[in-house]
Each structure stands twice: as structure tokens, then as C-alpha cells.
Amino acid sequence: MEKVLVIEDDRHIAEILRMALATQHFTPIVAGDGGTGLSEARRLLPSLILLDLMLPVMDGWEVCRRLRADEKTRLIPIIMVTAKGEEEDRVAGLELGADDYVVKPFSTRELVARIRAVFRRKTGQASAAGLVRVGELEIDAARHVVTVEGRSVHLTMMEFTILQRLAQDPGRVFTRDQLLTLLWGEDCFVQEHSLDVHIHAIRKKVEADPGHPLYIQTVHGVGYKLKEPGRQRGA
């Protein structure tokens, strides 16, 4: 069974999460503060982490930052589960490297659907294993490695999944609805802005000039596409 690490200091919420995960045949592990959660993540290397932000010892922002900076844990999917529901908090969490962001109070059904969406993306990456090249951009699904002009680029699992999907069909325009369904499934309600934040994060990592992207292009009013080799820059 997939191990899910819950880093949550509220014992009541932690127990709700533990029971919901166990019912869905995941193996839950609970840590009550950020420092313990970080240590357990490094020791256990769980399949996924549910991370609160307002934690004792070390807040969730710092836990996420350290997980993403550590070679052993940087690819572990992170879903932030927090009462901080302001738009700027969502954007900050996703830009820091969270794969998803759920606001308390939450539906356990919705949360489980998002967890399953993460595992579907992991399975999809494995089945799409191979090497994809678009210009100077190279994506190795088997090794979860992205290079641009020979330079290695570190992406979160969500960022990697988005880039890989676009690269599998360069030149095709994906609508926002299509990408949201591909990434989260039809059972999850996800704000479109979450997708835009992930795209922005990818551009910062793979584009020489994120303000004038060469690879990931916006088709205004529709969605996104990956540049076909030899085509001119887009917006």
C-alpha cells in the first residue's frame, strides 16, 4: 500500500485524515510538528505528503522548501492542507513546489480524489517512459530528468507531468479544461489559476526569458501548447 505522511498538529484533523486514508487502503503516518515531519519524510520516503502550513517547531513553508531542496525528497508529491485560503497563499504554496493545495475545512472525498489524481499522474509517467525531444528541450520520463541545452532542470512531479504531456504532442493546443481534467480528473474542483501558476513555475525553470517563452506558449483565450521545432516565438 502507498505510504502517505500526514504532517498536521491538530490531533482531531490528523485523526480524520488518518481514518480517511486507512479506509481507502493507504498507509497513513502522522507527524505532529514540522521538524518531526521533515525527519520522517527523509527516513520513510513516503509516496505522498499532506502538509499543514501552521505548524510548531518548523512551519509548512520551510518544510516544503527543505523537501524540495533535498535530492532524496524533491520528487515526493506534496499536497498542502491548510486554513490559509487567500489567493496569495495558494500561489506561494504552488510556487514553492507543492503539487496541490486544499483549503480547510475540506471534504475527505475531495481530498482522496486529489490524492488518487496524484497517483494516476505517477502511473501515467511510468507508462509514458521514454525520451522526448523538442528543440533543445529533452524530457526523460524513465529517469524523471529534464534538460535544456544540456543543463539539468529540477521540476516537481506536477510540473514534470504538465511538461511531459505538452511535449508528447508538440504544436497541439490544450485547453485549460483539458489539462485540468488530465491532471486532476473529473472528480476534483480545481481553480484554473492553479494551472497557470504551475505553467509560470515551469517557464521560470526551462525558459531563458520566461516573459517571452520559447517553448511553452499561451494561446490566449484557449490554453497552452509546446512550440513545434522551427516555429517562431509565441506569447
pLDDT in tens, 159-204: 998 998 898 888 999 999 899 888 887 766 676 788 898 999 999 9
Q: Select from 69, 104, 122 the last residue of a domain.
A: 122
Q: What is the pLDDT of residue 230?
A: 54
* End position of a domain, from candidates 105, 122, 139: 122
Last residue of a domain, one of 69, 91, 122: 122
152 and 218 together in one domain? yes
In a domain, 20, yes or no: yes
78-88 average pLDDT score: 87
* CATH number for the domain that contains residue 33: 3.40.50.2300
Looking at the fold, whether 111 and 133 belong to one and the same domain comes out as: no
- Same domain, yes or no, for 87 and 170? no
Residue 15 and residue 105 in one domain: yes
Pair (112, 9) in one structural domain: yes
Does residue 235 sit within a domain?
Answer: no
How many domains are there within the chain?
2
Is 231 inside a domain boundary?
Answer: no
pLDDT reported for residue 126: 54
Higher pLDDT, 38 or 176: 38
Same domain, 92 and 70: yes
Give the structural domain span for 143.
128-226
Are both 90 and 42 inside the same structural domain?
yes
CA dihedral (47, 183, 70, 58) positive or negative: negative
Same-domain status, 93 and 140: no
Residues of the chain above pLDDT 90, percent: 55
Q: What is the mean pLDDT of the chain?
A: 88
pTM above 0.85, yes or no: no
Residue 189: per-residue pLDDT: 67
**Span of 6-10, 53-57, 175-179 with lowest mean pLDDT:** 175-179
Q: How does residue 78 score in pLDDT terms, banded at 50, 70 and 90?
A: very high
